[in-house]
Chain A
Amino acid sequence: MKRTLTVCPYCGVGCTFYLVSDGGRLVGVEPSTTSPVNRGGLCVKGWNAYAFVHHPDRLTTPLMRRDGVLQPASWNEALNLVVERLQAVQETHGKDAVMFASSAKATNEENFLLMKLARAVFGTNNIDHCARLCHSSTVTGLAETFGSGAMTNSISCFDQTDVILVIGSNTTEQHPLIGSRILNAVRNGTRLIVADNRRIRLARHAALHLRHKNGSDVALLNGMMHVIIAEGLADREFIANRTENYDALAGSVTDWTPERTAAATGLSADKIIAAARMYAGAGRAMIVYSMGITQHSHGVDNVRCIASLAMLTGNVGRLGTGVNPLRGQNNVQGGCDMGALPDLYSGYQKVSDPLMRDKFARAWGVSSLPSEPGLPLTRAMDTASEGRLHGMFIMGENPMLSDPDQGHVRKVLENLELLVVQDIFLTETAAVADIVLPAACFAEKEGTFTSTERRVQRLHKAVEPPGQARADWKIICDIAERAGYEGMRYSSPAEILDEAASLTPIYGGIIYKRLDAPGLQWPCPDQEHPGTPIMHLDRFSRGLGHFTPVSHRLPAELPDEQYPFVLTTGRTYFHWHTGSMTRRTHLLAREEPCSFIELHPDDAAMIGIRNRDMLLVSSRRGEIRTEARMTEMVIPGVLFMPFHFAEGAANALTNNVLDPESSIPEFKVCAVRLEKIP
């Protein structure tokens, strides 16, 4: 019986636990009782995080498509073919004809290496990962307003605040060990405002529940700011000393009277005023948000409004305050930090900056690096269908289920000249690949993950990978070597993080020997620095906080006669994203075994549907069959659907309309119609 301390592979909270193994097999988990994050508890996914690791579906050998069928191959054959064909695509169509998709499930070291592989070895900035689908709006919006696109405060701040505004985050289900802190805070006297038209669990504990219309967040936030300014509740001193462009913001919200806001949001004016007073009247107030804010065609504007609301009331840079975007994946913060982004190197250093290019080129021993920002993941499918992208290398992502407009994604992936997928299971995406590389999962390798509160923590190897599967970082190094690049030889992930730290100022002091539990929170510029629990203490990362006025824009596709319902998509508590791990975990799969759609009983009655009837749901992109779940969780006219299920895939319906600045898709609003299947 052996215990190995590691970090949970599911959400971004950063809970740590021990994997219990016996004879080389995992048999359970035990939560860390000293972790300042999870304090001895875990959520149901954490308690079951061991359970998929030895599943018989794990990929154990490289696969190559021969005669139309994926067949076992040797590593030598598979890796040689990967390099040969990537190079062939580039020779025929140019360097930018290939794209690399990195993974928020992989370690910091692996994300750093894949972006290095793309840029230094294959000469393209076409590198991105699923942060594009979740918090790219945050990265863009908070970089502009604060100078840093990460959670400003720490998870411990939830214990020390007077008011929490949760907007667009189902925290108890998606970040359960933060959600539970919010529940505890409320029991200890913190007042809670929930802005979300789903009746999520937190709403049962809220002093105010604002069920505003989907896509009306800018109106709501502008309306709240109007009330705060009109009633003299703004923090004049903070605004004067710490911010710029206030007058423009104040001017832009002048017209957002409670009455106008009420009309735009569907809320009563009284509730808007009460929310503004409660938030602005608190000594310390925190804002928590997630995909309900970011996944809109105006996601960046939503984030700007949130930043403005916090600055307007001086709720930044102090204990128990802040703007707290909850990062979804275990290492989506790290994926961004490590530069798995088309326009940024690690540490958010711009590829368009010649000094940065020169710094990285010298460190990596190459004569030059590409200067033009690469493709965002969400534009890759259109670029491929336009004939400008011909090969993709996808590590640990499953766009066939996770990206919007599945029909389009399928057509594109099937028509690529080359699709390489590196994963732990034969996902829906891997199933259409030309070459599949079997990877080690979180329990089978060393590395670091960075949690939502910017906490870098080590994971440790508990068991061997199955069959011939290898850690992602080793596979990437092998590919670089075969492509003729000699600058990717490492004896361990620690050496990779050393290199990343030497090139990444916010990680400058983060090295393995300092990463005993509970890890370090960046910015941590040097090896004497203790890490940063709260950002923007005396000054914002960019100097002064910048108010950006924002106009309200409607979602791209609203209901009409043909498609009369709003569909909003998300996740359930029991599954993770495309279900490759959780649907192979007995208890989790038992809880939510199949695709479903939530609809209000009034809507169900109107079209003659009973609970668990099978429905045909159609949008302008596609149609699926799924099971009806009648619930007052949703308001009439709005449907909710999780995207975990290959059969009844929500993303066959969603709309790949993008925020113009962040390229995030509008997962939260599209128009659909329902029909009962006889």
Chain B
Amino acid sequence: MKLLTPELLDAFFATLSQRWELRLPILLPDGTRIIGSLIDGRLALHGGAVSGKPTAAFFPQQSTLLSVTDGTVEETPSPPPLFIVGFTPSDLASLRFIDRFFADGWRDDLYFTLRENAAIAALSGYCGLGGALIPLAGGDCDLEFFWDRSSWLVIAYSETGKKLIEDLPDAARTEVVELLRQTTPSLPDENETVIRAASLLLRADRVPDSFWAEIGDRCIACTGCNLACPTCTCFGVQDWRSANKTERSRMWDSCQLDGFMREAGGHNPLGSEAERTRRRIHHKLAADPQKWGEISCFLCGRCDAVCPTGIGILAVAGEIVARFA
């Protein structure tokens, strides 16, 4: 375990930037906190989960799949190696989930080209919102930065991670990490209790259609829940054609849109907001547990934060438990 004091942060990242493209938690000019480049804002490691889909580094909102000019496919330049800091343990769970999804059956080259070229660092310790404790990640990443209220204790989980921090001094006091390593699995999480209870109720078919009609009435189809969710992976594909060029790209899609499932003949098996909202929640809490053996909501809270009408997954799960448990 290595030690990184706050005053050495800038120098540490400056050194890394010589070999890596850095994406770090930053504070943008209006105070929005995201994972981005230091040219856009100042470093902001504290504050918990950043806004925006953290998995966007590998699955951006829009990306070019193919570009053909005068009948020749353009070569795609290799991306620079990325070093991304800012994943919470919940974000790492989401990443692990979509890694498996994008590798299952068919392998999504575009995703893995970016993913395998990146090193990932988690943030944990007392660096949550207002100094709240973020549980230890304990793996699923190359590095973990643990804030012990005075310095960052840095733990490597991969060979890449070890190399990245080999020049840092060893940490002298690591008891707090050891203590958390032992207690983290038993830390209670009310949100997890709620989401698991809602999942059971859904799988037991205890939630009536009338509930989904109520929730659907509050959906304005902004699609933000999907676009902010780190485990949502649906995308649409478009072709742009001009005189001598065709460009095929994909962009994040949303199951909250009517066109998502509409058949060419016009019929839509998910033709109402109620059905679409039901599907969104069902997918995460009922279908994914069957397919993958786990609920695919890792409680990051982003859909609840972006939803203008308060029907993010945690809010809906809470209503389900309150009314049908």
A interface, CB within 8 angstroms of B? 1-3, 5, 16, 18, 20, 22, 26-35, 38-44, 46-47, 50-51, 55-56, 172-173, 176-177, 179-181, 183-184, 187, 201, 204-205, 516-518, 573, 586-587, 590-591, 611-612
Contact = CB atoms under 8 A, between A and B. Distances in A.
B224 A41 contact: yes
- Cβ-closest 3 pairs across A and B: A28-B61, A180-B308, A517-B30
B259 A590 contact: yes
7 contacts: A3-B37, A18-B32, A22-B60, A47-B224, A56-B242, A180-B308, A586-B251
Contacts of A3: 28, 34, 36-37, 40-41
Contacts of B310: 184, 187
B51 A5 contact: no
A184 B309 contact: yes
B220 A43 contact: yes
Interface string B20-43: 000100001111111011011100
A371 to B, nearest CB: 44
Given A3-B36, A590-B236, A34 B220 contact: no
Given A18-B32, A32-B30, A2 B56 contact: no
Contact of B61 (A5, A29, A181, A590): A29
A27 B62 contact: yes
Interface string B281-310: 000000000000000000000000111111
B223 interface: yes
Q: Is the interface of A mostly helix, strand, loop or mixed?
A: mixed
B34 to A, nearest CB: 6
A47 B60 CA distance: 13
A43 B217 contact: no
Contacts of A32: 28, 30, 32
B257 A27 contact: no
A27 B63 contact: yes
B218 A41 contact: no
A632 B247 CA distance: 41
Contact of A518 (B30, B40, B307): B30
B238 A41 contact: no
B181 interface: no
B37 to A, nearest CB: 6
A38 B220 CA distance: 14
B258 interface: yes
B230 interface: no
B232 to A, nearest CB: 13
B188 interface: no
Given A3-B34, A18-B34, A30-B52, 13 more contacts: A1-B36, A2-B39, A27-B61, A33-B32, A44-B221, A44-B223, A50-B61, A176-B308, A180-B308, A183-B309, A204-B217, A586-B236, A587-B259
A61 B259 CA distance: 35
B266 interface: yes
A326 B55 CA distance: 37
A173 B220 CA distance: 8
B241 interface: yes
A183 B216 CA distance: 12
A38 B305 CA distance: 11
Interface string B170-196: 000000000000000000000000000
A152 B227 CA distance: 34
A33 B222 contact: no
A554 B223 CA distance: 41
A34 B227 CA distance: 18
A183 B224 contact: no
Contacts of B306: 31, 40-42
Given A518-B30, A586-B251, A587-B259, A42 B224 contact: yes
Nearest to B302: A40
B31 A47 contact: no
B99 interface: no
Contact of A591 (B51, B218, B222, B258): B258
Contacts of A611: 266
B37 A2 contact: yes
Interface in B207-252: 217-218, 220-224, 227, 236, 238, 240-242, 245, 247, 251-252
Contacts of B62: 26-28, 50-51
Nearest to B257: A591
Contacts of B30: 5, 16, 32, 34-35, 516-518
Nearest to A584: B240
Nearest to A54: B240
A39 B51 CA distance: 12
Nearest to B307: A41
Contacts of B28: 3, 5, 18, 32
